Structure 1
């Protein structure tokens, strides 16, 4: 499983629950559409500050997770 699969699932799920498209998410987070697509497709190298702009819409932010908790 991809290292960032929890992040991908979180963003996709929250976006779909909000009933918004990738285009709308990009506009609301003030990021590019390509960034949203890269994020949801699991690109390994993304800017943390830009990921946090997207997560902030859903009341979340990036944070460290202990390695033993990654598979939960």
Structure 2
């Protein structure tokens, strides 16, 4: 699952609009839209701000899906 898919699914699960998510996490609406669109160049610190709402964070994973 990509970050974009995770955030979109969780946002909908929590009943939030993109604007709600933006306001609750302190990031701009444009960032939320780009994050959910899967923009390949996002700031990880801001991604972690959003993911923190869902008790998740960006981390390192090997290509075979295991932790290093």
Interval containing the TM-score (normalised by the shorter chain): over 0.9
Aligned residue number for residue 53 of structure 1: 49
TM-score by length of 1: 0.87
User: Do residues 32 (structure 1) and 28 (structure 2) align?
Assistant: yes
SS for the counterpart of 2:9 is: helix
TM-score by length of 2: 0.92
SS for the counterpart of 1:67 is: coil
CA-atom RMSD in angstroms: 1.3
User: Do residues 9 (structure 1) and 5 (structure 2) align?
Assistant: yes
Total equivalences in the alignment: 66
Gaps of 5+ in 1: none
- 2 CA distance for matches of 1:8 and 1:42? 5
Gaps of 5+ in 2: none
